[in-house]
A and B are shown apart, each in its own frame.
Chain A
Amino acid sequence: MTVLGSPAATRAPRSRGRSMPARGRAAVVLKYLSLVLASAVVVVPLAAILLTSLRTSREMADGGALAAPHDWFNLHNYAVAFTDGHMLRALGNTAFILVFSVSGTVLIGSMTAYAIDRFQFRLKKLVMALFLIASLVPSVTTQVATYQIVNRLGVMDTRWAPVLLYTGTDIVSIYIFLQFIRSIPISLDEAARLDGANSFTIYRRIILPLLKPAIATVVIVKGVAIYNDFYIPFLYMPDDNLGTISTSLFRFKGPYGAHWEVISAGAALVIVPSLVVFLALQRFIYNGFASGATK
């Protein structure tokens, strides 16, 4: 299990230095052309949003979607989006949900992995099957019934509803922990047990610290998923005061229907943190998704 920091070192062989026939040169040109074209397809829609967010409402009336703003430091739209869109409150709500769900997921996932990997007990096969089959159920299909359960639990329209749902339905992170815990030698547990440590001490002092790379993976994968999730807060927290980043941005649609400069600023405000995190943690993010997405 190589959760973090394995590839990148192993690269495909290099072909530089060999003489290149004309056909090879054409292939290289096509290769870079395709890469530049694909990058343009990714960047242009985002650039349009950025340019628009810097324009004044008067500038919006004339000039196309990709026209340059008159003043490149016109942050007026950002101020409007931030205050009128209640982005600070949204950030607070998202942070609350993020902290509780991510720590809950780490606890639940590591405890499950510990119990399943380090103990022999009756019904172990059944427990495994319950988790495995549940991972095949796409949660978006069961919302009709989950809604009623959240309602009956009395947490509807509170921040605990998403926390419970994110913590309780994440089977991918249990997989990540299970795969990783297998690489921790059992002799460590046994040595500690000989020193008189009980199972909880072993979990706390040996397993959890050694699971750090898996925890990093889960924090990244889960953190990105929660920051970007829309339908759980949309369904379970309709209250205006409980807007998250996603639902608060979604609510721009009504009042700013035609004011694309403000909507663009709001979208840019939401995208920038993702970009900063991506640039800072690139390597961890690639490896995290590579191990998270494939279960």
Chain B
Amino acid sequence: MSAPRTAGSRTIARTLPPPDATRPRTRPPRRRRGPRRASGARWFTPWLYLLAPLALLVTFTWLPVADMVSYSFTDWDGLSPTSNWVGLANYTDLFTRPQLFQVFWVSLFYLAASAVQICAALYFATVLSFDTRLRNLFKGILFFPYLINGVAVGFVFLYFFQPGGTLDTVLHWFGAGPHLWLGNPHLVNTSLAGVSVWRFTGLNMVLFLGAIQSIPPELHEAAALDGASRWQQFRHVIAPSIRPIITLSVILAVSGSLSVFEIPFIMTGGSNNSETFVIQTIKLAFNFNKTGLASAAAVVLLLIVLLVTWLQRVLFPDERVERS
């Protein structure tokens, strides 16, 4: 954080307020177009403010991306001083591993969960946007899971799903039998994806609710005067107005379900068929010291996420969400 200090050292005494043109200048600013120019500033002034932000941006985002791409063509183990160029071997290895299809299969569970989550959020946001008793209480209860620490969520649901735990107890009241929610490889991903719905529905709901509440009230009134039913109001007034944020949520859901990590890592450690793409990558890199292979996996994930984002820009060019 050197920029503020550097900038601070050139604080000019405020005794004489000279008119703009007569201020001492080492050289004139090169470009002076646009309404937002800072007249009187030296050419390097903006760079003083950008020094620290750019240094951090390059060090912690751009450099890792560049390094990652270059590691992905080597057999580096992350520790030894040397490594060998292996060309595309990591990528071919990655795409011929049977586990790869397993992790993408797991992503589909989270993708389905995101669909459930967005529909539920849309429903509750709409319901709560109409006149409802205890509206703020319901809104608060549904949103709160999003604020809970991920490890705590993991433990809450380990207890919830464990044999004889909360879920089995509740099901027993209704006469349903117990299941091995996390122990059964066919059930574990559904259970874990359910946790993700529990955790994130509230956030989506609050986002949708904010968008619904910024719809001009005249639209609702006009619809109500025309005798529109609740469903018609939703279909013709609410849904079109909040389409951009729904699109954005879908995009975030796709990239989010590919990069699921925390909940399955905390709850099962990726055992029992619950390994996700990111857990696999982290394990390759830090448990098996296959930095090269892990980098290739991370590059593939990054490319998929960028592709999804790019597709959104192409398919829905006008629906960039910009809140104003």
Cα(A10)–Cα(B8), bound, Å = 44
Decide: A143 and B65 in contact? CB cutoff 8 A: no
Tell me if A121 and B43 are in contact (CB < 8 A).
yes
1/0 per position for B1-32, CB-CB distance to A under 8 A?
Answer: 10110011011101111111000000001111
CB-CB nearest in chain A for B67: A145
**A19 interfacial by beta-carbon distance below 8 Å:** no
Within 8 A of B (CB), among A260-294: 260, 263-264, 266-267, 270-271, 274-275, 277-278, 282, 285-287, 289-291, 293-294
B149 located at the interface, meaning its Cβ lies under 8 Å from any Cβ of chain A in the complex: yes
User: Within the assembled complex, what's the spacing in Å between the Cα atoms of A235 and B281?
Assistant: 13
Are B155 and A120 touching (Cβ within 8 A)? no
Q: Does A13 contact B (CB under 8 A)?
A: yes
Q: How far does the Cβ of A180 sit from chain B's closest Cβ, in whole Å?
A: 11
Per-residue B-contact encoding for A96-134, CB less than 8 Å = 1, 0 else? 000000001001110110111111111010010011001
Cβ A44 vs Cβ B170 within 8 A: yes
Q: Known contacts A45-B198, A112-B53, A164-B56: does B169 contact A66 (CB below 8 Å)?
A: yes
The A/B interface has a contact count, at CB < 8 Å, of: 349
* A270-B151 contact given A38-B124, A127-B54, CB 8 Å threshold: yes
C-alpha spacing A274/B152, complex, angstroms: 11
CB pair B43–A142 under 8 Å, yes or no, is no
Given known A121-B46, A147-B285, A169-B61, contact A194–B159 (CB-CB < 8 A): no
Contact with B along A127-152 (1 / 0, CB 8 A): 10011001011111111111111000
Q: How far is the CA of A143 from the CA of B39 in the complex (A)?
A: 42
- On whether the beta carbons of B166 and A122 are closer than 8 Å, the reply is no
With A10-B213, A246-B150 already in contact, the answer to whether A145 and B295 are too (CB < 8 A) is yes
Interface residues on B, range: 35 or more
Do the beta carbons of B305 and A179 come within 8 Å of each other? no
CB–CB B148/A274 < 8 A:
yes
Q: Indicate if the CB atoms of B217 and A10 lie closer than 8 Å.
A: yes
Nearest opposing residue in chain A for B51, CB measure: A111
Of listed B131, B166, B206, residue having the most chain A CB within 10 A? B166
Q: How far is the CA of A98 from the CA of B255 in the complex (A)?
A: 27
- Pick out which of these stretches binds chain A: B94-102, B104-112, B139-147, B179-187: B139-147
Number of interface residues of A (CB under 8 A): 122
Bound form: Cα–Cα A196–B139 in Å: 50
CB contact between A1 and one of B34, B39, B324 (< 8 Å): that residue: B324
Q: Which residues of chain A are within 8 angstroms of B59 by Cβ–Cβ distance?
A: 149, 153, 168
Residues of B within 8 A of A138 (CB): 255, 259, 301-302, 305
Report if B248 contacts A (CB, 8 A).
yes
> 10 closest A-B pairs (Cβ-Cβ)?
A168-B56, A119-B46, A196-B17, A115-B49, A145-B64, A168-B60, A145-B67, A48-B166, A145-B68, A142-B64
Please, could you name 21 A-B residue pairs with CB atoms under 8 Å apart, sorted by A? Answer: A10-B217, A12-B129, A12-B217, A13-B217, A45-B159, A65-B166, A119-B38, A122-B30, A134-B62, A145-B64, A145-B67, A190-B39, A199-B38, A203-B49, A230-B149, A231-B261, A249-B151, A253-B155, A278-B144, A285-B147, A289-B203
Interface residues of B (CB under 8 A from A): 1, 3-4, 7-8, 10-12, 14-20, 29-41, 43, 45-47, 49-50, 52-54, 56-65, 67-68, 71, 78, 120, 123-124, 127, 129-133, 136, 138-152, 155-157, 159-160, 164-166, 168-170, 172, 198, 202-203, 206-207, 210, 212-214, 217, 220-221, 224, 230, 245, 248, 255, 259, 261-262, 265-266, 278, 281-282, 285-286, 291, 294-295, 298, 301-302, 305-306, 309, 321-324
A contacts, CB < 8 Å to B: 1-2, 6-8, 10-16, 27, 31-32, 34-35, 38-39, 41-46, 48-49, 52, 64-66, 104, 107-109, 111-112, 114-122, 124, 127, 130-131, 134, 136-149, 153, 164-165, 167-169, 171, 174, 179, 186, 189-190, 193-201, 203, 224, 227-231, 235, 245-247, 249-250, 252-253, 260, 263-264, 266-267, 270-271, 274-275, 277-278, 282, 285-287, 289-291, 293-295
